[in-house]
Amino acid sequence: MDVEPRDKGILLEPFVHQVGGHSCVLRFNETTLCKPLVPREHQFYETLPAEMRKFTPQYKGVVSVSFEEDEDRNLCLIAHPLKGDHGTVDSVDNSDCEPKSKLLRWTNKKHHVLETDKTSKDWVRQHRKEEKAKSHKLEEEFEWLKKSEVLYYSVEKKGNVSSQLKHYNPWSMKCHQQQLQRMKENAKHRNQYKFILLENLTSRYEVPCVLDLKMGTRQHGDDASEEKAANQIRKCQQSTSAVIGVRVCGMQVYQAGSGQLMFMNKYHGRKLSVQGFKEALFQFFHNGRYLRRELLGPVLRKLTELKGVLERQESYRFYSSSLLIIYDGKERPEVALDSDAEDLEDLSEESADESAGAYAYKPIGTSSVDVRMIDFAHTTCRLYGEDSVVHEGQDAGYIFGLQSLIDIVTEISEESGE
């Protein structure tokens, strides 16, 4: 369906594959996401070195995001082109977007409280009390999420696993609700926000398995307050960040063999020992029945290539940046060598399960796995000019974390070899 973004705007939906971070990440369309614009991150994407582009999401521009209501007074977030910018939204493929005329009711209704003769002060007081209770309930739900650090859900194999994932990912939905609540509370003072558009790295996977790794031995930026810096230093010292330069920030895995979805959040990631980190990595590449060994070689090659790229970057520091590893949890069976190739198209998961002796579960063709750097709000480089601290040489902490990751994945690969 054609969309008229300039007149109607584009409805933004929650991004269901977010496994880490608190920033509000929204789905612009199937291949594009958007997140609040942070000046330094925007500057990074507009000036990043050419050889780093293959290891970062494609930057697609900036839009203006505002709260708007549908005819039933349901609050929604709508993206519009920036004033005077007629190309930003139109330059992105909008064929998959939801037009404003098809607003989804994914927030509570917003009630206008008017001090009139028909509206008693008691009603107003009660209404405000109910709104406050809703806010407290959201905080309680988020506290529960912190305690539920690792969750497993059984899914229906016969159903659409991808659609079920949308209902299960707790971190994505709770973080989104919390961020939306903050924006709603500030709406009286501000209703226009700038968001950057970025490539949706999960769009080419049917059931994305996502690992979010916080990289480096230091997480606080040069502009951090003493309290913020102390807090980040403590988190690094109490986690694997200080020892190996990397820690788990979030994980989403579909284990096709057991029919389970597994989610791990950053609170659990901080508690892991180095051995626990290695076990978490093993779990990420395990499908519930066996290790997806065919993914390890491509991951190692990309990590090694990225390490070489960063070793050539002078003065950059990627404080608080994350590294994403993504692959498809939906495996397709490969027919036996003596079978007709046409059988492959008709082979369902159920028939493959019944014919375990005749079929092997292996991806067809080259395994697709992605490795990308994200989150650059605290990145610094001498090219930016305005920073109070200018660093020399490589980002040793980030590179140390990459080497640790390479070593651990190599160990997993060697230990699992026949």
Q: Could you say which DSSP state residue 38 is in?
A: -
**pLDDT score of 228:** 92
Alpha carbons 303 and 49: distance in angstroms, whole number = 18
On the CB side of 253, CA atoms within 13 Å amount to 25
- pLDDT tens by residue, the chain, 418 residues: 343 343 578 998 888 888 887 678 899 999 999 999 999 999 999 999 999 999 999 999 999 998 777 677 666 888 999 876 544 554 555 555 544 443 333 333 333 333 333 444 454 455 555 555 555 555 555 555 556 688 877 776 666 666 666 556 666 777 667 766 777 777 667 778 899 999 999 999 999 999 999 999 999 988 899 999 999 999 999 999 999 999 999 999 998 877 888 899 898 999 999 999 999 999 999 998 999 999 999 999 999 999 999 999 999 999 999 999 999 998 866 544 444 444 434 433 333 333 333 333 444 444 589 999 999 999 999 989 888 899 999 999 999 999 999 999 999 999 987 4
**pLDDT score of 92:** 58
| Residue ranges in 152-204 assigned as alpha helix (H) | 161-168, 170-185
**pLDDT score of 22:** 66
Question: What's the whole-model pTM score?
Answer: 0.78
Per the listing, tokens 């993914």 go with 295
Residue 71, SS3 per DSSP: coil
Q: What share of the chain is helix, strand, coil (3-state, %, to 5)?
A: 40, 25, 40
- For the stretch 42-57, what's the b/e string if a residue is b when 16 or more beta carbons lie within 10 angstroms of its beta carbon? bbbbeebeeebeebbb
Q: Residue 210 burial by CB count (10 A; 0-12/13-18/19+): exposed, middle or buried?
A: buried
Nearest to 403 by CA among 303, 314, 276, 282: 303
Using alpha carbons, list the distances in angstroms from residue 158 to 161, 164, 203, 209.
8, 11, 22, 19
**pLDDT score of 418:** 46
Alpha carbons 294 and 406: distance in angstroms, whole number = 16
Using alpha carbons, list the distances in angstroms from residue 389 to 73, 282, 393.
48, 39, 13
- For the stretch 163-196, what's the b/e string if a residue is b when 16 or more beta carbons lie within 10 angstroms of its beta carbon? ebbeebbbbbbbbbbbbbbebbeeeeeeeebebb
**pLDDT score of 175:** 66
Alpha carbons 374 and 210: distance in angstroms, whole number = 13
Alpha carbons 251 and 209: distance in angstroms, whole number = 8
The residues near 204 (Cβ < 8 Å, ≥ 6 apart) are 368
